[in-house]
A and B are shown apart, each in its own frame.
Chain A
Amino acid sequence: MGKQTLLLENVTKTIKGKEIIKGISFSINEGEILGFLGPNGAGKSTTLRMIVGLSTPTSGVIKICGHSITKNYVQAMSNVGCIIEGPDLYNYMSGMDNLKMLAVMSKDVTEKDIFDAVELVGLENRINDNVSTYSLGMKQRLGLAQALIHHPKLLILDEPTNGLDPSGINEFRNVIKSLVKERNISVLISSHLMSEVELLCDKVSIIKNGTILKNAVVEELLNTQEVFWVLDDNLKGKELLKNLWGINSYIIGEKLEAAVDLTRLSQINKSFLEEGLMLKFVDNKHKTLEDLFLNLTEGNKII
Chain B
Amino acid sequence: MLKLIENEVLKMLCKKKLLLISGILLILISLFAYGENHSYMNTIKRFTQTTGQTQNYDWKSLVNQQITDLKSRLNSPYNKDSSKNSTNIKIEQLQYYLDHNMNPITPNAAKFTIKFMQQAVLLFLPLLVIVLAGDSVSGEFSTKTIKVLLTRAVPRWKILLSKYISLLIMTSLVVLEAAVISIIVSTVMFHTGGWNEPVATGFRSVAGKLDASNVVKVYQWQYSILVYGLGWFAAITVVTISFMVSVLVRNTATSIGIMMATLIGGEFLQLFLEDWPLVKYFFVINLNLPKYLTGSFQPIEGMSLIFSIIVLCVWSIVALAVSFRVFTKQDVLV
Q: Which residues of A contact B (CB under 8 A)?
A: 15, 49, 52-56, 73-75, 77-78, 80, 82, 84-86, 88-93, 97, 101-102, 104-107, 146, 150
Contacts and interface: CB of A to CB of B under 8 A. Distances in A.
Given A54-B331, A55-B333, A77-B153, A84 B7 contact: no
A54 B153 contact: no
Contact of A104 (B7, B14, B148): B7
B213 interface: no
Chain B interface bracket (under 10, 10 to 19, 20 to 34, 35 or more): 20 to 34
Contacts of A56: 329, 331
Contact of B147 (A73, A84, A91, A92): A84
Contact of B148 (A53, A102, A107): A102
State the majority secondary structure of interface residues on A: loop
A92 B139 CA distance: 12
Contacts of B4: 104-105
A54 B150 contact: yes
26 contacts: A15-B331, A49-B332, A53-B151, A54-B331, A55-B333, A56-B331, A73-B153, A74-B153, A75-B153, A77-B151, A77-B153, A78-B153, A80-B151, A85-B147, A86-B144, A88-B143, A88-B144, A89-B148, A93-B11, A97-B14, A101-B10, A101-B11, A104-B7, A105-B7, A105-B152, A105-B154
Contacts of B329: 56
Given A49-B333, A54-B147, A104-B3, A92 B14 contact: yes
Interface in B139-162: 143-145, 147-155
B15 interface: yes
Contact of B15 (A89, A92, A101): A92
Contact of A90 (B11, B154, B155, B333): B11
A143 B196 CA distance: 58
Contacts of B149: 105
A73 B155 contact: yes
Contact of A88 (B6, B10, B147, B154): B147
A53 B328 CA distance: 11
B16 to A, nearest CB: 8
Contacts of A88: 143-145, 147-148
Given A15-B331, A55-B331, A90-B11, A102 B152 contact: yes
B10 A107 contact: no
B3 A107 contact: no
